Amino acid sequence: MLQKLLGTKVGMTQIFDQERNVIPVTVVNIADWYITQIKFQDKDGYSSLQIGMLRKRYTDQTFDLNFLQKKKKHFLHVREIQCQTSHDSDEYVLGQKLTLKDTDFVEGMKVDVSGVSKGLGFQGVMKRHGFKGGPASHGSKSHRAPGSSAGQRTQGEVQKGKKMPGHTGFVKVTVRGLKIVKIDGETGSVFIKGAIPGRKNTLLAIRTQG
């Protein structure tokens, strides 16, 4: 059984539990992932699976092993995940479609989700670091300016790590301890409580805790 799986972010919605409480969830689609290569402990030195996400234009077609000869053409993402033990790779077949039954994910368990956050471009200190900003009136001319960046103690030298304007977002972010609220095996969707970093169609990695 796999303790890690990849998927794409569909978006956010809300569902109701048995007590009619609203739960905000993020939908992650893990369908259309196939095994493109299998690595064995005795041959390659470690046990892992190389999996690929089929492009949309080929999802309606019957999967053919000839797709593996041109992976860039037929697969949108190709990643490698390690198996838990050295004998786990013997349970899988080349070209096999991965489903939720091949993982340890169940409803109610907590997982860690990693993804690339939204890129916001070049931003100032108020949006990037949450600075309060200067006065808004009474003749002030420094509304959103960062202020002084050096002091007399450092003889005017700007120290490393100073919070200043710059590129914001588009970094790897991991959110830990998110709860799986619902699993839909037919559509290959996982409903995870709370917000997950990234925009729509962002590639996400879901891992079990521990």
Instruction: Measure the CA–CA gap between 74 and 62, rounded to whole angstroms.
Output: 12
Residues 201, 123, single domain; the answer is: yes
Residues 9, 21, single domain; the answer is: yes
63-84: pLDDT as tens digits: 888 898 999 999 999 999 888 7
Residues 125, 172, single domain; the answer is: yes
CATH of the domain at 178: 2.40.30.10
90-120: pLDDT as tens digits: 788 898 888 888 888 899 999 999 999 999 9
In which domain, by residue range, is 191 found?
Answer: 1-30+100-130+164-210
Residues 197, 169, single domain; the answer is: yes
What is the average pLDDT value for the chain, to the nearest integer?
Answer: 90
**Residue 152, domain member (yes or no):** no
Residues 121, 201, single domain; the answer is: yes
Residues 10, 79, single domain; the answer is: no
Residues 106, 87, single domain; the answer is: no
